[in-house]
């Protein structure tokens, strides 16, 4: 990457993405080669929203590179509740660390924050905005299981609010991928995202309300969680959610090679019985967060650094 | 140990226990010999209930072995509150780490979780169930102070709800120990635990409502906290709790060699004046958590691991 | 230092302070020289009150010395809420670690706690009492920017409740410094602090309600936050707070060499436009927490330790 910060997957070209994925694969094959790479480096973790897997996998990645983390902790236990601005918080913490990871409920917060700091800053999710490291591990998992060329992918569930889905869709438009978006009408992709995707040269985007018509053609099915709180009425939620659940019966109509993914946590979208099938790739997907984030951290710490390594 | 996971002290034979205690003593005598033993290893901490000393001593133990930890954090700040199952959580986190430590309010949760993971899993307390690493440090402390052979021990306080007490009682039944259980009638050992203990060959178990009759014969007195919330009536609590408190006066009837233990935290069960006497072993007991957990972690990481060390 | 614990800046002589500042400057110039100094050491973090920068900078300092930390976590997730005394908590945790850092809402808590432990204990702020490591980084920043000899300093804002201000004032009375205290009448320095300062040989202390009369003479202006919750009436707060805010217009009356400091977090006391001027030293000040705490930790770990290094 020729970037000091990682804010959105939109900033990454196909060549950038492939470079990261290649490097992640190299690390995955031999993690010991980088086990002491950043032995004296500290990564600042600033999570203004709860997170388990993103935070833990960043921490794991940094420690697998020989480095360590310094964690701001929860907002409740920090100075944030004394009224400090985000610009002040990041300017203080950059003085302690060699890079920053920031998750924030407000869309655009990481982009704003990155203008105040000299160390590399990685966006770990901003509201309904972007989540570029999740996108990279999704792409890595797709490439390992189905390949990124001549790909037919279905993306299903809550497509309206999910930053994970938007980030992935933008990134996939760099590749030769047929994207099918499957959701109830009330949770369709935002119109501006569809518009953006159609602007891309060669983009192949279609929307569906039911999975049946596209399932047999899919190489990858990417399922997301439909959140109860999006629905004013519990009955409506139950009915809608029920139509977008995957189980072994559903998958009988799919290709034997279908890869099922999910950013996790899941609730009822994928039945536990699917875990035992060869389709299930969602735990592998979560685990891929480590080599992918190791690759991203290493590239940013080496290039975004002060050149003294 | 010939086990991949450590779930309950019932799974440990006398030989298993002695092997761990011997190794803990070896580590305690020369911690520097293992200070880099697990330099590239990560331990996942999953505490679904508050904990100070168990969590901190596991973290200390792992770091004293040269390794590091990755902490899920509190349930409030994690994906658990989004409705993720424990089986999913442990399967994600095992991908980041080389072993897992799990505390959970539901009895049986660690046993269930261990069936979903390939890395070693250690139970750090499950509801009213088991707490095997606490038991091992209790046994270690008893052995150092009074010996495990020909032992007369009194276990006093809340015997009904305390997993620490149940775990210890089962483990002691492997040894030549006379166990006296002292509690108000309402907080007696559960009948099934008494039944189990009597099934053990050579078990020597007696129950008492007052400490006076047994105190002079004891080598060790193990005190536990009587929790206010177990009593519907505050007056009844005050009266009962008062009868099971230890101070310097109480101890005049005891042997000079009596060792007083407590799993901590204490409230009023042991008067601060006892701290200054030679009887007090409860801080030493807490500190023993480090070499004992170092021994357990090292044994599980080496034997439960992927054999590449 | 000839001390095992660091409880208050009052315990430090001018020679003590200069030794620490000199050593911090040495570390700041070449941190790599101490990067593995305490590779097998653990620092226990006991924060009974929220903190971002103090806690993170202690953690950073320890890790920059090659060591690691073990964190008690928030009070809500610890045994403290089970009713454990502070004396018990520190006696347990000292068994895990090589030194302790303690922040506590009750004034005097660190002094009390230090009597129960053998490892060095550092006060990280106790109620309205002391905050000696903050004072040391303040002195370091003053020395780097304006020098500690022949100093004219203005200390402005909430002088009544701020432990930071009291600690700094006591420490400055060791030097040839003219101290001007600027605050609304209701937030003046406590009378006993003024009394104490006047007892110091050569102390030069004056109090003001407005900054105008002293601003032109100042080498350093140390601004603190006026807390809304100190005022029963919102209008009164707004009016008072407004009079003690610094912006570019205010600073036109100041010397070009004026250094503006703030312990952070700030709310409205210093306008963001000041950040871009050469006066602003508050982020540098926060960053100085790392070398200063590295120096303090190293001195205490080497001298307060068991002599086996």
Rounded Cα distance, A204 and A293, in Å:
29
Spatial distance between the Cα atoms of C196 and B201, rounded to a whole number of angstroms: 73
- Give the Cβ contact number of residue C2 at 10 Å: 7
Determine whether the annotation assigns residue C82 to a binding site. yes
Chain A residue at shortest CA distance from B94: A287
Residues of A with CB under 8 A from a CB of B: 32, 35, 47, 50-53, 55-57, 59-60, 63-64, 68, 74, 225, 264-267, 272, 283, 286-287, 290
pLDDT in tens, B162-184: 889 999 999 999 999 999 999 99
d(CA A193, CA A179): 13
**Closest by CA position to B86, among listed B60, B123, B54:** B123
* Alpha-carbon span C121 to C98, nearest angstrom: 9
User: What token pair was written down for B294?
Assistant: 């170092």
Contact in structure between C154 and C222 (CB atoms under 8 Å): yes
pLDDT at A237: 85
Residues facing residue A264 across a β-bridge: none
User: Which of A5, A37, A38, A54 does the annotation list as catalytic?
Assistant: A54
Is B82 an annotated catalytic residue? Answer: yes
Cα–Cα distance, C284 to C245 (Å, whole number)? 20
Burial class (CB in 10 A: 0-12, 13-18, 19+), A111: middle
Under an 8 A CB cutoff, do B96 and A60 touch? yes
Minimal Cα–Cα distance from C199 to chain A, Å?
35
**Interchain proximity C52–A92, CB inside 8 Å:** yes
The answer to whether the Cβ–Cβ distance between B84 and A264 falls below 8 Å is yes
Partner residue opposite C42 with nearest CB, options B63, B225, B272: B63
Q: How many CB atoms within 10 Å of residue B254?
A: 20
If one looks up domain B9-130+288-303 in CATH, what number appears?
Answer: 3.40.50.1370
Query: For an interface test with A, which of C51, C56, C103, C230 has the most A Cβ atoms less than 10 Å from its Cβ?
Result: C56
pLDDT confidence tier of residue A39, bands split at 50, 70 and 90:
very high
Fold of C9-130+287-303: Rossmann fold (3.40.50)
3-state secondary structure of A104: strand
Q: Which of A50, A265, A272 sits opposite B77 (nearest CB)?
A: A50
Cβ atoms B226, B157 nearer than 8 A? yes
The total number of residues written for chain C in this structure:
309
* Cross-chain residue pair C52–A80, CB shorter than 8 Å: yes
CATH of domain B133-286: 3.40.50.1370
* Cβ proximity of B174 and B151 under 8 Å: no
Q: What are the tens digits of pLDDT across the range A170-223?
A: 999 999 999 999 999 989 999 999 999 988 877 789 999 999 999 999 999 999
Report the C-alpha gap between C260 and B44 in whole angstroms. Answer: 44
Share of chain A above pLDDT 90, in %: 77
Q: Say how many CB pairs under 8 Å bridge A and B.
A: 73
CB contact under 8 A, B264 and C42: no
Which helix or strand (DSSP H or E) is residue B272 part of? none
Among C50, C60, C265, beta carbon nearest to A42 = C60
CA separation, residue C210 to residues B87, C203, C243, C250 (Å): 63, 21, 8, 12
DSSP alpha helix (H) spans, chain A: 14-29, 53-64, 86-93, 109-114, 132-145, 163-172, 191-199, 234-243, 282-287, 289-303
Establish whether B266 is an annotated binding residue. Answer: no
Q: Which residue has the tokens 């890790």?
A: C63
Q: B306 pLDDT band (50/70/90 cuts)?
A: very low
Report CB contact under 8 Å: C96, B60. Answer: yes
**Interchain CB distance below 8 Å, C70 and B63:** yes
On chain C, the residues whose CB falls within 8 A of the CB of B283 are 91-92, 95
Which CA distances in Å does C7 have to A8, C12, C109, C133, C184?
47, 10, 10, 9, 30
Residues ≥6 apart with Cβ < 8 Å to A110:
A5, A7, A102, A104, A121, A122, A123, A126, A130
d(CA A285, CA B21): 40
Q: What is the pLDDT of residue A235?
A: 86
Is A285 annotated as belonging to a binding site?
A: no
Q: Which two tokens stand for residue C29?
A: 């110039």
Who's near B207: CB < 8 A, 6+ residues apart?
A: B180, B181, B182, B183, B188, B189, B194
Contact C78 B272 (CB under 8 A): no
Strands of A68-119, DSSP E: 68-71, 99-104
Q: Beta partners for C182?
A: C156, C208
Q: Is B103 annotated as a binding residue?
A: yes
**For residue C117, what is the DSSP state?**
-
Report whether C264 belongs to an annotated binding site. yes
> pLDDT tens, A45-93?
999 988 888 999 999 999 999 999 999 988 776 666 678 899 999 999 9
According to the annotation, is A163 in a ligand binding site?
Answer: yes
Contacts of A59 in chain B (CB under 8 A): 70
Q: Which residues of B touch C88 (CB under 8 A)?
A: 264-266
Give the pLDDT band (50/70/90) at residue B305.
very low
Six token digits for residue A136: 């990279």
For the cut 50, the answer to whether the pLDDT of residue A2 exceeds it is: no
- The answer to whether B49 and B107 have CB atoms below 8 angstroms apart is no
Q: Among residues C264, C300, C294, which one has the least CA distance to residue C282? A: C264
Q: Would you say C189 and C181 are in contact if contact means Cβ atoms under 8 Å apart? A: yes
| Chain C residues whose C-beta sits inside 8 Å of any chain A C-beta | 32, 35, 47, 50-53, 55-57, 59-60, 63-64, 68, 74, 225, 264-267, 272, 283, 286-287, 290
Give chain B positions within 8 Å (CB) of A42.
none
Task: State the Cα–Cα distance between residues C29 and A250, nearest whole angstrom.
Answer: 64
When pLDDT is cut at 50, 70 and 90, the band that residue B259 belongs to is: very high
User: Count of CB atoms within 10 A of residue A45's CB?
Assistant: 22
> Is C37 known to sit in a ligand binding site?
no
What is the DSSP code string of B276-299? GSTTB-HHHHHHTHHHHHHHHHHH
Q: What DSSP designation does B35 have?
A: T
Mean pLDDT of the residues in chain B: 92
The angle, 0 to 180 degrees and rounded to 10, between the axes of the packed helices C132-145 and C289-303 is 130
| CATH T-level fold of A9-129+289-303 | Rossmann fold (3.40.50)
Bond before A263 cis per omega within 30 degrees: no
Give the model's pLDDT for residue A128: 81
Q: CA-based Rg of chain C, rounded to a whole angstrom?
A: 19
The residues pairing with C177 across neighbouring beta strands, listed in sequence order, are C151
B14 sits in which H/E element: helix B14-29
Q: Which residues of C touch B32 (CB under 8 A)?
A: 40
Strands A177-182 and C204-208: unpaired
Using DSSP's 3-state secondary structure scheme, residue C189 falls into coil
> What is the structure's pLDDT at A309?
34
Given a cut of 50, the residues of chain C with pLDDT beneath it are: 1-2, 305-309
Token representation of residue C287:
């960053």
Chains that touch C (3 or more CB pairs under 8 A): A, B
Specify the pLDDT at position A124: 97
Question: Do B265 and B223 form a contact (C-beta atoms < 8 A)?
Answer: no
Tell me which chain C residue has its CA closest to the CA of residue B266.
C84
What number of C-beta contacts closer than 8 Å exist between A and C? 73
* CA distance to B127, B171, B183, C92, per residue, from B132 (Å): 13, 9, 23, 20
Q: Which among B165, B144, B140 is positioned nearest to B223, based on CA atoms?
A: B165
Whether C279 is catalytic: no
CB of C93 closer than 8 Å to CB of C44? yes
Q: Do C84 and B286 touch (CB under 8 A)?
A: no
ipTM score assigned to the predicted complex: 0.93
B133-286 shares the fold of B9-130+288-303 = yes
Residue A51 and residue B88: Cβ atoms within 8 Å? no
Nearest to C52 among A42, A72, A83 (CB): A72
- The answer to whether the annotation marks B293 as part of a ligand binding site is no
Annotation says A131 is catalytic: yes
C262 is catalytic: no
Which listed residue (C37, C41, C103, C178) is catalytic? C103
Give the pLDDT score at C308.
38
- What CA–CA distance (Å, rounded) separates A288 from A21? 11
| CB–CB contact C89 B51 (8 Å) | no
Closest to B166 (Cα-Cα) out of B124, B130, B204: B130
Cβ atoms of B44 and B97 within 8 Å: the answer is yes
Asked if B267 and C83 come within 8 Å (Cβ–Cβ), the reply is yes
What are the structural domain ranges in chain B? 9-130+288-303, 133-286
- Determine whether the interchain pair C283/A42 forms a contact, defined as Cβ–Cβ distance below 8 Å: no
Subunits in contact with chain B (3 or more CB pairs closer than 8 Å): A, C
Q: What are the CA-CA distances from residue C246 to residues C159, C214, C237, C242, C287 (Å)?
A: 17, 14, 16, 9, 22
- Which of the pair, C273 or B73, is modelled with greater confidence? C273
Beta-strand pair B68-71/B99-104: unpaired
Determine the distance in angstroms separating the CA of A115 from the nearest CA of chain C, rounded to an integer: 14
> Would you call A10 a catalytic residue per the annotation?
no
């Amino acid at each position: 990457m020729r970037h000091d910060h990682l804010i959105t997957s939109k900033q990454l070209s196909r060549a950038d993405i492939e470079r990261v994925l290649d490097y992640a694969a190299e690390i995955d094959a031999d993690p010991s080669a980088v086990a002491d790479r950043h032995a004296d480096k500290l990564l600042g973790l600033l999570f203004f929203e709860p997170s388990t897997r993103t935070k833990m996998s960043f921490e794991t990645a940094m420690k697998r590179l020989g480095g360590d983390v310094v964690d701001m902790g929860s907002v409740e236990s920090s100075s944030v509740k004394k009224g400090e601005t985000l610009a002040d918080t990041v300017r203080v913490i950059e003085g302690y660390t060699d890079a920053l990871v920031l998750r924030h409920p407000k869309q655009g917060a990481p982009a704003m924050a990155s203008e105040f700091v000299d160390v590399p800053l990685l966006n770990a999710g901003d509201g309904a905005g972007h989540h570029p490291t999740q996108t990279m591990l999704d792409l890595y998992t797709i490439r390992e299981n189905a390949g990124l060329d001549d790909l037919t992918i279905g993306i299903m569930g809550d497509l309206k609010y999910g930053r994970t889905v938007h980030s992935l869709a933008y990134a996939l438009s760099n590749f030769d991928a047929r994207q099918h978006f499957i959701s109830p009408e009330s949770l369709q992709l935002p119109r501006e995202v569809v518009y953006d995707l159609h602007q891309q040269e060669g983009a192949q985007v279609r929307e569906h309300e039911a999975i049946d018509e596209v399932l047999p053609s899919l190489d990858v099915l990417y399922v997301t969680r439909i959140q109860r709180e999006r629905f004013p009425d519990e009955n409506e939620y139950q009915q809608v959610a029920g139509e977008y659940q995957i189980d072994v019966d559903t998958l009988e109509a799919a290709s034997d090679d279908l890869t099922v993914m999910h950013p996790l946590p899941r609730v009822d979208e994928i039945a536990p019985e699917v875990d035992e099938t060869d389709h299930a790739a969602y735990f592998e997907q979560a685990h891929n967060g480590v080599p992918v984030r190791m690759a991203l951290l290493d590239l940013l710490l080496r290039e975004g650094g002060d050149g003294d390594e």
